[in-house]
Structure 1
Amino acid sequence: MDAQIQSIENLLEQMAALQKEVAELKIAKLALEAQNRMQENLLNMAESPKPEEMLASILQQAFEISCKLTGAESGCLVFLNANGAVQQSIPKEEDLTPVQLILTSPMYIDWANSHHQVIPIADVQQIEGLRSLFDHSSLRSMLSIPILRKGKLLGVLTLMHSQPGYFGTVIAEFMQSVTRQIALATEYARCYEELDNYSHKLKQELERAREIQRDFLPNPMISVPGWEFVACFYPARQVAGDFYDTFRFPDGSIGLVVGDVCDKGVGAALFMGLFRSLLRIFSGYYSFQVPSQTDEVLANSEVEVAEVPPNTVKIIDALKAIVLTNNYIAQNHERLCMFATIFFGVLNPTTGILTYINGGHVPPIIKRASGTLERLKPTGPAVGTIYNIDYEVKRVQLEPGDIVLSFSDGVPDARSSENVPFTEQRLLSLLEEPVPSAVSLVERLKTEIRSHIAEADPFDDITVLAVRHNLPLTTN
């Protein structure tokens, strides 16, 4: 008889152990499902355009899963700000029950902050520091789970039940894995917020840089009777390495510049401002100097000049700005390997003579009134590459009806969505058509380029400067 009783007791113990194991497996299964759902939500949040909204949904779901997983009768999920005060709660503040209000109180948060570990409490009435808080509550068992990230308390998940000793160590361990996922989601959202704030500030700074860079460009364009000056400028990014300039010298001649700094973005934009400023300063300085003798000026110049009339000496000195700019960049910024291709011309609007240096730039095109096309080929290398090199000065006569079109390589290199370039051949074909004005030419070119690019991302900065001689030359 005793043996039978013992056998039955053993069987009951085995059944109880089996039931406990089955219960633990069920909990483990639920915990695994919850963890998988949390991880899936984390991935969705990373791809979401509004992670803060996704986070709210994830936290709400995590709280509901936690209650379902444990069978808790009440509970609350709170998140703290940098000062340790409650910033957010689930349920929301307006929906909190009296017990949940306790779980968001400073006294409870202080208690939780002093226990950075998962704590299953059999009876809150037996714990100093909690007894007074839950004095009028029927809830007795508590599971307090801190949400930690790098040792810092981000929040607390608290679950409660009326049955004393309801929450065991198995549930506590599984819930700890859930809160790890909550911590990751919260940390990601905070990092995203910081990144978003930084990105917003960066966009503001870049927009400010864009405004400053545009202020470097002549606005309005220079106006001279009998001449048209038209330009367009489209940076591939917020700021650009391309630039153009038109300015007047004291003797009435006009400086014309189109430049393209190597590379793109902020670095190129910084050097764009430097190149533009150096050219203006050096050319302006030398245009004010009145030489005593032509031969002396030419002898001291590093610019190679062929067949230069005496009345062009001041123009030659203005173009010496290319040599001085080249030497400054090559000597002071050699380590950065920054350079620019630059076309710099000085136009005498009375005579129609354009004296120029082409420092490695795309050869500007002259469309003659007769329809023929000419190119102003480079007269030296890109500016800033090698210290103390020579640039040849050349001249060309512009007649009424002639148009000079200078542009950056972003024009022929403009890409379609299929990565097909616009090509220089297409540009030349446009110039073969009749052109009534510089404005109509630039507008036609802009329309063609926009149509070619369509929805494609900009490939390179695009800059165009067109100059047209409209009226017959005046004679003195």
Structure 2
Amino acid sequence: MSQPSKPAVATAITLPRWSRAVSIVAIAVAWVCVLLYDLLTLNFTDPLDAGHGFFRTLFPLVGFVPFAARLFQPEDIATDAEAYETYTNITLITAIAGVFGLVAYLLIFTWEDFRLLSNIWAFIVGRLVALVAYVAVPLVAEGLLRLYRYRSKLAPSRIALGYSYGLAVLVIIPLFVAFFGSLQNVREVAYMLSGLLGVMGFLLSVRGGWIVNLRKRQKLKLLLWAMVGGLACLPLMPETTELAASLYGFFPGLLSLTFGIIISMLVTQITVFFNAMLALPTAEAIDRRNIEVSSLANFARLLTQSFDSNELTDTAIAITCSVTRSQAAWIELGEGATRELLYGTSPKLPAAVAQALMDARATRQHSISEAVRNNERVEMIGQTGEGRWALKNGTTRALRSVAAAPLRSGNKLIGTLFVAKEQVFGFDREHLTILEVVAHQIALSIEQSRLIQQSFERERFEQEMLIARTLQQQLLPKTMPNSLFHEIHAESEPASIVGGDYYDTIAFSDHTIGIVVGDVSGKGASAALYMGMVKGIVQAFSGECATPKEFLIKVNHALHGTIDHRWFVTMTCAQIIDEERTLRIARAGHCPTLVLQQGKAWFAKSPGIGLGIAKPALFQRTLQEEVVKFMVGDYAIFFSDGLPEARNPQGDELEYERLRAIVERAAAAQPSAQEMRDAIFEGINKFTDGESLVDDTTLVVVRWR
């Protein structure tokens, strides 16, 4: 049975989306039309009394239409860096407008000969002041709206509509007041309405979650930008009759609109300033985490670009020193007489000093090197007197604390990674955790380099098969997490031509578990190597995200621009909510998820495009989640394209409908997750009549119990 169609979510307003350039041109044309209209009607001497005719009121409204459409359909911000750029741009626009307003007031409106409305030249100057506000206000409004929507707990569509309607009210109501009242009446109404918009802006901007993850240097710049932006808002508050009349005389709605945006901008600058101040104490920790993630991503990328063992060693040692803030690092490979020490680009330690540090006592019975090999876990000595040596200039250098992590390839210990610092007790828990992660990456790279060097002597096809199979087995988890509510069975069978299939488990920020199934485009060792990089990025973001959508957005941001443009990754991420027996699924171009409920199967096909293909903003707009509720005995089946693409001797593919039929037949026996897996592969084997599969087949079965 196919999945019942879901009603589309209706939007309140659907408008064409014009580019920013077209919107600015429309504003400029409207401004010129108003200027020509006033000049042709010789209305420049007293526009307040006679200038509110139908046409001169209509022109500015028409000019606002393209920007109004943009406000109702704004581009979402995808990353914290983009939010920072948006904020600095609107602050810069505000600062430029503020300087212009201050100069206009001090140097123009204070001259008796150029008092506003006194002659045609003062009239034109007033129109120039209005032009600055007319152009700057919608640009700043759009930027503020994008910031308010980013990381908001409210629905982005509601924020867009609410704020856009608020701006519309600021334009329309003063028009009615202007026809029946004076400038003073319009100013009073403008203050009241803009104050309400300012309160809305404060509530939407006070959270400021995008500031937390910025670098310390960026946070310090934010403080400066916030002060500049706040000061720039002051000259734009039309407290004087001249400035207010400039805006009122051009278009009555512009006066209140300017008030509203300036007040919103001012409260935003205040909240940004205090959020940046509050985030400064954690800035160094955030910087360190960003360096760690960036270093791991760069190292993972190097794995796919270089197979030179010396280059890999240099990079591994440099990254290890960077992320642990150590003064020295080295690798011990092998055992006994075959032992080899690799220093890379770390400061050259005398061999005797390195050996003394490795022999330092971690326990009464064992040195730190022996403790790591025996326990296969990270070990640390907070204070040791073994790492002291004399330099050529006569001074003495000492490394007073040392830590070590095992290098494992599969179940085999291939060496040990050592780091040392000059500080006593220089390693905290976070350092040791990241040391273990780096050690895993280094072990993978070392084993990978060895395999590649060996495979150079064989034929190309045999090389890719051996490397890809070895790496894939290291990437896949050995066991899957089960609970009282569900059981999971996963398996990946390599075909004669291997590819980049991958599955894994992750954690979400609320401690629920998730399933990740992915596939790299293409086949062979290159696909497997890219999947190794994907695993590193997936594990780096494990535990940091609240939903599958947020997780895939972060993975796409890390991959975009990192992998070759000819490659991309498809992936499905599902969050298991045990107590509710619910799956939250997000699909980035991967095969649909087969859902079996009460014996009937259908495919969950939430929209989304592959990872690494599109820019973060486009990827975020197209990605959607789907929530599926299950009962006891229901199944969720995740698979790669190797299953529906399996062919029989006649060349026909299995396709989704035959796969669905196989699952529905198997469900009649109420099988376990593993039995369901066996039944699916048995059905595929019967269809192909024993023919070899042309691609890897990965299958993850979740059964609710």
- TM-score, length-normalised on structure 2? 0.33
Query: Higher relative contact order at CA 8 Å, sep ≥6: structure 1 or structure 2?
Result: 1
Select the structure that is richer in helix: 2
The structure having more radius of gyration, on CA atoms, is 1
TM-score scaled by length of structure 1: 0.47
Structure with the bigger percentage of strand? 1
